[in-house]
Amino acid sequence: MGIAVEVEGLTKSFGRQTIWQDVTLNLPPGEISVMLGPSGTGKTVFLKAIVGLLRPDRGRVLVNGVDMANSPERDIFEARKLFGLLFQDGALFGSMSLFDNIAFPLREHTRKKESEIRRIVMERIELVGLVGAEGKLPGEISGGMRKRAGLARALVLDPQIILCDEPDSGLDPVRTTFLSQLLVDLNAELDATILIVTHNLEIARTVPDNMGMLFLRRLVTFGPREVLLTSDEPVVEQFLGGRMAGPIGMSEEKDQAALDREALAGPLPERTGAREVVPQMRPSAGLPERQAVRRRRERVRGLLHTLPPAARAAVEADLRAEDRDTAVYAVPHAPKDGRGTPPTARTALLPRFGRRRP
C-alpha cells in the first residue's frame, strides 16, 4: 500500500512574493489526489516541496517518518527513493537514449545487473507504448512520447508515491485519456499514493479520489471528490465550470471593480435540485477493483451530514450507483483458471512492477 503524505503549515516565498502560506492537508495512502488552481498559484512549487527539491520557509512534510522540509539531506535523499516523479516536459537527459534515461534511476540507486535492468526497462517501455523507440534521443521524438518516457522512468523503482506535474501537457485529448487510464490502472495494481497537478477538467472530474485547489496564496479546500464536485465555494464552482464569471480573472484575482460589474449584470442562475457527481474512471478489464475507492466511500459516508441538502442528495445517489456498479464489476464474465482469474485477463495484470503491495 502507498504511503501517506502529511503536509502541515507549509509556507513558501520567493523574495517578497508569497507563493502560498499555511497549507495543511493529508494525502491518504494508496489514493489518487488532484491539485487544481489557476496558472501561477504555485502548484509545481508545491510538488517540489513535497519531494524535498525545494525547502519551504515554514512547515513540514512527513513521508514515512522523514520530514522532507527539515530533515538532514541524507535522510531526504533516501526518502526520495519512495517517489516516482513525472515532470511537465519529462525532464529527460538530452544526450541519452530513451532506454538509458529510463534505466538511469536503476543504475544510480541499485546494484542490479544489466540483464535485470534491461528486463525492467523494456517492461516499462512496453507499458507506456514506446517499444521500438528505446534507442532514440529525446530530441528525436514528440513531446507526448517524452512524457510517456518520463512516466516509464518514474516507475522503474516501484515507487509508493507518484507525483505527476501536468501529465496532460503536450498531449492530445485521446492520449490524455490513455495516460489517465494508465495512472488509474497503476493505482489498482500497486495501491500507490498518486498526486496529480493539472488544469485539465476531465482529469479532475473523472480520475481522482480526492481534490484540492490553490488560490490566492492559500489552500481553498481539499477533500473527497464527491464533496468538491458538489461544492458551493465560488472559486471551485467557477474553475470546474470553466466560467468567466467568478473570483478568478485573467491574472489571478479579479479586482473589486470587475466583481462589481459582474454584480450589476445580475446574478448567475443558481444550481437547483440534485447535483451530478461525474462517474469516476475505473481500472481496465482484468485488473482488480481499486481499494482506494472503498476507503474513500467510507470517509464520504461519514461526511454526508455536513453537506447541504442538494449536495448530500447528489452524493448519496452517486454512492448508490457506485455500489451497484461495483457489484456488477465484481461478477466474473469469463471462465476462470485454477487461481480464480479469467485467463484472458491474467496478461492484463501488472506483475512487471516487481513486488506487489499487500
CATH of the domain at 116: 3.40.50.300
Query: Structurally, how many domains does the chain consist of?
Result: 1
Q: What would the grid cell of residue 218 be?
A: 492559500
- What pLDDT, on the 0 to 100 scale, is given for residue 354? 45
Closest CA to 88 of 48, 59, 58, 126: 48
| Cα distances (Å, whole numbers) of residue 248 to 39, 128, 202, 251, 262 | 10, 36, 19, 8, 12
**Is residue 251 predicted with pLDDT exceeding 80?**
no
Encode 144-175 in three state secondary structure: HHHHHHHHHHHHCCCCCEEEEECCCCCCCHHH
**pLDDT at residue 250, as a whole number:** 64
Please indicate, yes or no, if residue 335 is contained in any of the structural domains.
no
Is 75 domain-assigned? yes
Q: Is 294 a residue whose pLDDT tops 60? A: yes
pLDDT the model gives residue 146: 87
Asked, for residue 270, whether it belongs to a domain, the answer is: no
Let me know if residue 327 belongs to a domain.
no
Domain that holds residue 20: 5-224
Q: Are 10 and 189 in contact (CB under 8 A)?
A: no
Confidence of residue 203 (pLDDT cuts 50, 70, 90): very high
- Residue 47 within a domain: yes
Q: Residue 326's pLDDT is what?
A: 67
The chain-wide mean pLDDT, for the chain, equals 83
Specify if 301 maps to a domain. no
Look up residue 167 and give its amino acid.
P
Q: What is the pTM of this model?
A: 0.83
Does the residue 331 lie in any domain? no
Tell which wins on pLDDT, 193 or 349: 193
Which pLDDT band, with edges at 50, 70 and 90, does 346 fall under? very low
Flag whether 52 is in a domain: yes
**pLDDT confidence of residue 196:** 96
Give residue 175's pLDDT: 82
Q: Are 217 and 235 in contact (CB under 8 A)?
A: no
